[in-house]
Chains A and B, each alone.
Chain A
Amino acid sequence: MAVLVIADHDNAALKDNTHKAVTAAQKISGDIDVLVAGQGAQAAADAAGKIEGVRKVLLAESAELDQGLAEAFEALVVPLMANYDAVLIPSTSLGKNIAPRIAAKLDVAQISDAVEVVDANTFVRPIYAGNALETVQSSDAKKVITVRPTAFKAAAEGGSASVETIAAPAAPAKVKFVEQQIVQSERPELGAAKIVVSGGRAMGSAEEFQRVIEPLADKLGAAVGASRAAVDAGYAPNDYQVGQTGKVVAPDLYIAVGISGAIQHLAGMKDSKVIVAINKDGDAPIFQIADYGLVADYKTAVPELMSALDGSAK
């Protein structure tokens, strides 16, 4: 029984999500291969070979794989699955785009967003915005699993697997990449950051969001997140959204500023180690899950917090 992990990477570097998916895979089999699909991705493939417990790295390169086109991934991964009993993919926007397509082609169910691998056939996954956990047993011969990275520890470094280059499939005929606007940020990635500072509707404008939330995040070396309300209103970019239908984060410290705590938001951050809420409404639901609540107007509380942090840095 062998399993394939599809790597999360940006060609130059491997992301930690890959290490976490490897940890999830270890519960299924000891024979773990990692597929690095991209373009100019030798460095990421070499890094994948250094993850402890990895048997072999497969490297496939084409423009369409780099663009994350699901049709290209289907053509690459479905034939490969003749050699594997399971494929695990981190639940990123790429993973969510490609995994169900692969599952349907294999005529198997997808296990979406697994947070625990009980055994090779049994998985735990959140449903209803994380208000319930479902334990499911699969009767499919092959498994397609998207993995919620925050639920798994990263596999250690220390491997020395070889990298085998495999052919990329021909470009899909019916879909083509047009353009993308990907923002390169100096800040840590939202999914991987130790500290996340999120702003909500209370910010009132994009300028205010940038004036209040971003300096606090930078002082803490934190990633920036937002509620749906803040994103919908254009205060923050769409991929900042934390929640049921946005990103799921579980940092050591999550600071929610001017966020009420709707269940859809909580779904994305309630597994954080320590939660801080700053909200002027003492009855806001966010306080029910916050470890430390500060009932205050953010307009005074955030500057005070900034100077208290300055004071404590000494």
Chain B
Amino acid sequence: MKVLVPVKRVIDYNVKPRVKADQTGVDLANVKMSMNPFDEIAVEEAVRLKEKGVATEIVAVSVGPTQAQETLRTALAMGADRAILVQANDQDLEPLAVAKVLKAIVAEESPEVVLLGKQAIDGDNNAVGQMLAALLEWPQATFASKIEIAGGAAKVTREVDGGLQTIEATLPAVITVDLRLNEPRYASLPNIMKAKKKPLDVKELASVGADVASRLKVLKVTEPAKRGGGIKVETAQDLVMKLKNEAGVL
């Protein structure tokens, strides 16, 4: 069984994003970039499926700038077998466009499972996986906290409001992963060395033949209102008094 894992290069989750003064976006110059944390979880799950003998090949794919090769090398060091970069240098693609590019890659690669993160932590869209499933007319299992694959189906436990839900999707299927699915491994030095020799195929965005036209024009990006400074209170007694008399919330 082949598993396709789309991974995105995003701002590192430890970095506090800063809005550019000209309101055109978030300043990413000289900022540490990493693999989207949810995508690390997806790669980890694919590798575990391979270790269990369920998956036979893991293909990581990224749509993004040349530097996304580093992200793909990370996926290879974690255990992916090969990688594809769909190079899109001067364009930040919207989720619908990414889904269309991924659909074209799925047509070439014919995976049985596409394993994505539930959300990229830059745009916070939480959309690509569901969109890809719709375009492919495949079933979807989002926000997975447990995945069992057997008999041509994926049994997936999903994190939903109020608790957990389990559904069963016939393969091929799209699965998006949530935080509790696993804890991603760190790539070992020997595996990082080995990853350098694994195949990484670079395709130009135009060669994929997907409609990547943007539908949303960003008019501005602004900083949210800052909260006014607070105070420290000395005792719990003080706190309750202030909440009652000053803040009026008790």
A residues whose Cβ falls under 8 Å from a Cβ of B: 67-71, 74, 92-94, 96-105, 107-113, 122, 126-140, 172-183, 195, 220, 228, 231-232, 237-239, 241, 244-245, 247, 252-253, 263-264, 270, 273-276, 282, 287, 289-296, 301, 304-305, 307-309, 311-312
In the complex, chain B residues whose CB is within 8 Å of the CB of A273? 247, 249
Given contacts A68-B165, A294-B232, contact A108 B247 (CB under 8 A): no
* A128→B120 CA distance, assembly (Å): 9
**Interface-forming stretch among B42-50, B74-82, B105-113, B217-225?**
B217-225
* A10→B96 CA distance, assembly (Å): 31
Q: Is B206 an interface residue (CB 8 A)?
A: no
Could you tell me the distance in whole angstroms from the C-beta of B60 to the nearest C-beta in chain A? Answer: 22
The contact of A103 among B96, B163, B220, by CB within 8 Å, is: B96
In the complex, chain B residues whose CB is within 8 Å of the CB of A244? 121, 124
Q: Which 6 A-B pairs have the closest CB atoms?
A: A304-B236, A100-B130, A104-B131, A104-B134, A100-B127, A175-B139
Task: Scan residues 195-236 of chain B and give those whose CB is less than 8 A from a CB of chain A.
Answer: 215-224, 227-228, 230-233, 235-236
Instruction: Verify A293–B134 contact, CB threshold 8 A.
Output: no
B residues whose Cβ falls under 8 Å from a Cβ of A: 11, 13, 16-19, 25-26, 38, 94-96, 99, 118-119, 121-135, 138-143, 145, 155, 158-170, 173, 178-180, 215-224, 227-228, 230-233, 235-237, 239-244, 247, 249-250
Instruction: Verify A108–B96 contact, CB threshold 8 A.
Output: yes
8 A-B pairs, CB-CB below 8 angstroms?
Answer: A109-B96, A109-B216, A134-B221, A136-B216, A139-B217, A273-B247, A274-B243, A294-B236
Given contacts A174-B139, A274-B249, A308-B236, contact A183 B216 (CB under 8 A): no
In the complex, chain B residues whose CB is within 8 Å of the CB of A137? 216-217, 219
* A130→B16 CA distance, assembly (Å): 11
Tell me the nearest residue of chain A to B160, going by C-beta: A93
Tell me the nearest residue of chain B to A71, going by C-beta: B139
* A121→B212 CA distance, assembly (Å): 20
Instruction: Verify B250–A253 contact, CB threshold 8 A.
Output: yes
Instruction: Verify B230–A127 contact, CB threshold 8 A.
Output: no
In the complex, chain A residues whose CB is within 8 Å of the CB of B244? 312
The contact of A181 among B163, B222, B232, by CB within 8 Å, is: B163
Instruction: Verify B167–A292 contact, CB threshold 8 A.
Output: no
In the complex, chain B residues whose CB is within 8 Å of the CB of A274? 243, 247, 249
Instruction: Verify A182–B163 contact, CB threshold 8 A.
Output: yes
* A195→B247 CA distance, assembly (Å): 13
